[in-house]
C-alpha cells in the first residue's frame, strides 16, 4: 500500500458555505461538527494543524473545576460535570476517571471544614458518587511520598483525564468530516471579508502550496482562541475593547520517581496558588502558572522563572524525588483564551465561555467564541449552533438523543467503547484480543491502537494485516505502528510528519523520543507514503523545528 501527500487539495475559490469556522482547536472542531450535523454546509480552516495550539498545551484534565466553587461559579461547575459525564460515557478510551488527592499542609489558608463542604457539594453535583475502595491505600501512599517535615491533610475526590486531547480532536474531526465538513489545516485566514456591514466570507492562503483564495460564507465563526482579537484586527473589525486577556500557563514534564503516586495530586504552590502533579504518559506533568502574555500565541514559551517556580513547588511536595533542572524532560506553555478582565486577579478571571456577536462592530454574521475549556467544548458548540439558528431537530440526518451521542451509537453495537467506564475493562480485554488477531499484531500494539483510535481500531488492524511494512513500529521504543500513521493521512487530515507524531499518533510526546526516533519514523513511513529522499529530509527538518518550538528543554 502506498499513499502520496503531494496531490494538491481541491480549490475552494468562490465556493459558498453556510458556515465557515476559523480555528481548528477543540472548540472549532466541535463547532464545525455540530453545525454540519444540523445539515449546514460547513468549512473548517486551521492555520497550523488541528489541535496544535492551546488544546495541546493544556493540563489534559476533564474536570468540573473544583477551584471554581471558591469563586461561586456553581453554574460553570454544574455544566462542566455534566459534560464530563458525557465524555466519560461516549469516549472511555480517551477520557477516563482519575482519582485526585487534595493535599494541604498546616500553613494552608484553606479551612478544612470548607474543603469538606465543597467536596461534598462537588460530589452531589456530579451525581452523588463517593470515594472508591482504593482511596485509603492511595492516600497512604501519597502521604509517604510527601514532605515528612510537614503535617498534611488529604482529601480524595474523583475527576477525569484526557491524556491526549489531540486524539479527541482527531476523533471529532473524523465525525465532522463524516457529517459533511470540508476541513483544511495548514490554511491561514488572511482576513474576514466584510462589506456593507456584514461578514461575507474569508480570504485564505494554503500554507503548503502558497495559493490564495476567497471563500464565501453566510456565517463566520471565529473560534481561534487566543488569536481571536488578531483575526478582528486583521479584518479591520473594531471591537469596543479587547475580547481576550492573554494569560500564559506553563507546565514541566518530569520522569517518574520511586514512590510516585498513582493518583493526581492537587495542592498549593510556593505562593499558595493551585498546582497539579499528574501521572501522564508514563511521566509526571506539573502545572500550571498564570502570567500575562500579549505576545504571539504561536511563539509562546515558558519563562525560566515559571519553570523554576514549578520545580520549586514540586520539590516542596516531593523533596525525596530530589529533582533538579536537568531532570526536566521538557517544558511547554500555552495562552489561555480567557475573557478580557483588566482589573481582575488572573486566578479570578472566569473560565466561562461566551459568544460575541460582531453585528454592533459592523460585521453582522460573524461570531467570536471567547473562553472555554476542554471539558465544555461540546456545550460551547451547541450554544454556537443555536445562536446562528441551527437546530438539531431540523436536521434530515440526525436528531434527538442520537445527536447527543453520535460517536458512541455505532460503538454500542460494534465494540465495547459505548459502555460506561466501569463496564469497559473486562470487555475491552476481549476487544483488544480481537484487534490483535485481526491485524496480526501483538496485544500491546492492539491495546495502543484501541486506546488512541477507538472505533477505527478494526479498520487499522485490517490495514495492518495486508503488509509487514504497515505492522512495523514507528520507532524501536513504541508499540504504535505505521498503519496508524497511514490511517491518519488517509482519514484524519494529517499532512505532515509533525501532524502524525505530535497529534494523530503522538508518540513524540513520550519519554523516549529523540532525533534518532524521528529518523526511524521517517524511514518506515517513507516507502508507504511515497516520499522521495528529499521529501523525507524536509519532513524531518520541519518536524524537529516544530517539536523544539513546542517542547523546550530548559537550559
Mean pLDDT (whole number) for 222-248: 95
CA 213 vs CA 11, 207, 448: distances in Å: 8, 12, 40
Instruction: Identify the weakest region by mean pLDDT among 38-42, 112-116, 247-251.
Output: 112-116
- pLDDT (0 to 100) of residue 261: 82
Q: CA 167, CA 519: separation in Å to the nearest integer?
A: 23
- pLDDT (0 to 100) of residue 431: 87
All cell numbers assigned to 268? 498549593
Q: Which class is 414-550 in CATH?
A: mainly alpha
All cell numbers assigned to 7? 496531490
Summarised one tens digit per residue, pLDDT across range 384-435 is 999 999 866 444 443 333 333 333 333 432 444 444 444 556 667 788 999 9
- pLDDT (0 to 100) of residue 396: 40
Summarised one tens digit per residue, pLDDT across range 540-553 is 999 999 999 999 99
pTM comes to 0.92
Between residues 10 and 402, which one has the greater pLDDT? 10
Mean pLDDT (whole number) for 500-514: 96
SS3 category, 66: helix
Over 80: is that where the pLDDT of 470 sits?
yes
Q: Which residues pair with 267 in a beta bridge?
A: 275
Mean pLDDT (whole number) for 527-537: 95
Quickly state the pLDDT bin for 55 (edges 50, 70, 90): very high
- pLDDT (0 to 100) of residue 141: 80
Q: CA 312, CA 269: separation in Å to the nearest integer?
A: 8
CATH number of the structural domain 96-162+245-339: 3.30.9.10
**Contact (Cβ atoms closer than 8 angstroms) between residue 547 and residue 508:** yes
Mean pLDDT (whole number) for 478-490: 97
What are the sequence ranges of the domains in the chain? 16-54+166-243+351-404, 96-162+245-339, 414-550
Quickly state the pLDDT bin for 341 (edges 50, 70, 90): confident
- pLDDT (0 to 100) of residue 239: 95
Cβ-count burial of 495 within 10 angstroms (0-12 exposed, 13-18 middle, 19+ buried)? middle
User: b or e along 61-99 (b: 16 or more beta carbons within 10 Å of the residue's beta carbon)?
Assistant: bbbbbbbbbeeebeebbebbbbbbbbbbebbbbbbbbbb
Between residues 7 and 328, which one has the greater pLDDT? 328
**Contact (Cβ atoms closer than 8 angstroms) between residue 248 and residue 291:** yes
Mean pLDDT (whole number) for 262-285: 94
Instruction: Identify the weakest region by mean pLDDT among 16-25, 125-134, 456-465.
Output: 125-134
Cell 511536595, located at residue:
317
| Rg over CA atoms, the chain | 23
Over 90: is that where the pLDDT of 91 sits?
yes
> Which residues lie below 8 Å from residue 67, measured CB to CB, with a gap of 6+?
274
All cell numbers assigned to 446? 492492539
Cβ-count burial of 10 within 10 angstroms (0-12 exposed, 13-18 middle, 19+ buried)? exposed
Q: Which of 172, 91, 60, 179 is nearest to 492 (CA)?
A: 172
Q: Which of 282, 379, 432 is nearest to 84 (CA)?
A: 379
Residue 76 CA from chain centroid, whole number: 19
- pLDDT (0 to 100) of residue 148: 80
Mean pLDDT (whole number) for 167-173: 98
Crossing angle between the packed helical segments 443-453 and 482-491, to the nearest 10 degrees: 20
- pLDDT (0 to 100) of residue 428: 73
- pLDDT (0 to 100) of residue 108: 86
Mean pLDDT (whole number) for 207-234: 97
**Contact (Cβ atoms closer than 8 angstroms) between residue 407 and residue 30:** no
- Share above pLDDT 90 across residues of the chain, in percent, rounded to a whole number: 73
- Residue 48 phi, psi (nearest 5): -115, -115
What is the DSSP pairing of strand 95-105 with strand 264-268?
parallel
Instruction: Identify the weakest region by mean pLDDT among 4-13, 428-437, 472-481, 518-527.
Output: 4-13
> Which residues lie below 8 Å from residue 114, measured CB to CB, with a gap of 6+?
none
CATH number of the structural domain 16-54+166-243+351-404: 3.50.50.60
**Helical H runs in 219-365?**
228-234, 304-317
**Contact (Cβ atoms closer than 8 angstroms) between residue 380 and residue 369:** yes
Q: CA 381, CA 499: separation in Å to the nearest integer?
A: 24
- Share above pLDDT 70 across residues of the chain, in percent, rounded to a whole number: 90
Instruction: Identify the weakest region by mean pLDDT among 186-190, 428-432, 450-454.
Output: 428-432
Amino acid at each position: 500500500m502506498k499513499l502520496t501527500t503531494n496531490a494538491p487539495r481541491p480549490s475552494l475559490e468562490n465556493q459558498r458555505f453556510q458556515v465557515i469556522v476559523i480555528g481548528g482547536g477543540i472548540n472549532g472542531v466541535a463547532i464545525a461538527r455540530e453545525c454540519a450535523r444540523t445539515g449546514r454546509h460547513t468549512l473548517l480552516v486551521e492555520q497550523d494543524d488541528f489541535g496544535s495550539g492551546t488544546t495541546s498545551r493544556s493540563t489534559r484534565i476533564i474536570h468540573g473545576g473544583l477551584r471554581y466553587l471558591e469563586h461561586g461559579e456553581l453554574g460553570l461547575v454544574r455544566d462542566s460535570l455534566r459534560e464530563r459525564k458525557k465524555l466519560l460515557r461516549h469516549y472511555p478510551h480517551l477520557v477516563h476517571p482519575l482519582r485526585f488527592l487534595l493535599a494541604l499542609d498546616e500553613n494552608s489558608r484553606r479551612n478544612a471544614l470548607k474543603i469538606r463542604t465543597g467536596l461534598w457539594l462537588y460530589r452531589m453535583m456530579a451525581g452523588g458518587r463517593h470515594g472508591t475502595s482504593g482511596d485509603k491505600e492511595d492516600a497512604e501512599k501519597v502521604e509517604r511520598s510527601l514532605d515528612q517535615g510537614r503535617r498534611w491533610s488529604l482529601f480524595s475526590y474523583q475527576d477525569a483525564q484526557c491524556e491526549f486531547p489531540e486524539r479527541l480532536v482527531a476523533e471529532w474531526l473524523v465525525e465532522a468530516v463524516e457529517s459533511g465538513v470540508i476541513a483544511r489545516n495548514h490554511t491561514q485566514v488572511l482576513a474576514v471579508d466584510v462589506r456593507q456591514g456584514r461578514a461575507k466570507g474569508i480570504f485564505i492562503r494554503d500554507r503548503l502550496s502558497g495559493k490564495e483564495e476567497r471563500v464565501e460564507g453566510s456565517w463566520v465563526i471565529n473560534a481561534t482562541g487566543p488569536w481571536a482579537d488578531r483575526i478582528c484586527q486583521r479584518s479591520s473589525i473594531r471591537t469596543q475593547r479587547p475580547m481576550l486577556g492573554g494569560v500564559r500557563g506553563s507546565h514541566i514534564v518530569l520522569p517518574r520517581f520511586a514512590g510516585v503516586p498513582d493518583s493526581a495530586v492537587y495542592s498549593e504552590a510556593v505562593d499558595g496558588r493551585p498546582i497539579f502533579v499528574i501521572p501522564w504518559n508514563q511521566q509526571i506533568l506539573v502545572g500550571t502558572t498564570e502570567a500575562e502574555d500579549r505576545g504571539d500565541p504561536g511563539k509562546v514559551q515558558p519563562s525560566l522563572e515559571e519553570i523554576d517556580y514549578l520545580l520549586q513547588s514540586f520539590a516542596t511536595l516531593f523533596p525525596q524525588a530530589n529533582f533538579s533542572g536537568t531532570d526536566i524532560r521538557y517544558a511547554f506553555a500555552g495562552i489561555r483564551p480567557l475573557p478580557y478582565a483588566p482589573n481582575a486577579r488572573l486566578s479570578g478571571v472566569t473560565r466561562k465561555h461566551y459568544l460575541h456577536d460582531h453585528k454592533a462592530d459592523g460585521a453582522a454574521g460573524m461570531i467570536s467564541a471567547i473562553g472555554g475549556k476542554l471539558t465544555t467544548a461540546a456545550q460551547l458548540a451547541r450554544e454556537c449552533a443555536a445562536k446562528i439558528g441551527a437546530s438539531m431537530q431540523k436536521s434530515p440526518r440526525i436528531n434527538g438523543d442520537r445527536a447527543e451521542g453520535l460517536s458512541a451509537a455505532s460503538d454500542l453495537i460494534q465494540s465495547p467503547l459505548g459502555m460506561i467506564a466501569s463496564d469497559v475493562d473486562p470487555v475491552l480485554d476481549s476487544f483488544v484480543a480481537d484487534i490483535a488477531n485481526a491485524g496480526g499484531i501483538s496485544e500491546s500494539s492492539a491495546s495502543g491502537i484501541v486506546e488512541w483510535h477507538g472505533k477505527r481500531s478494526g479498520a487499522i488492524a485490517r490495514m495492518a494485516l495486508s503488509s509487514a511494512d504497515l505492522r512495523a513500529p514507528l520507532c524501536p521504543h513504541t508499540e504504535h505502528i505505521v498503519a496508524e500513521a497511514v490511517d491518519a493521512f488517509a482519514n484524519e487530515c494529517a499532512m505532515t510528519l509533525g501532524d502524525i507524531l505530535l497529534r494523530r499518533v503522538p508518540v513524540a510526546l513520550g519519554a523516549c523520543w529523540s532525533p534518532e526516533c524521528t529518523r526511524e519514523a521517517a524511514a518506515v513511513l517513507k516507502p508507504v507514503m511515497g516520499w522521495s529522499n528529499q521529501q523525507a529530509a524536509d519532513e524531518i527538518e520541519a518536524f524537529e523545528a516544530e517539536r523544539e518550538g513546542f517542547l523546550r528543554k530548559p537550559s
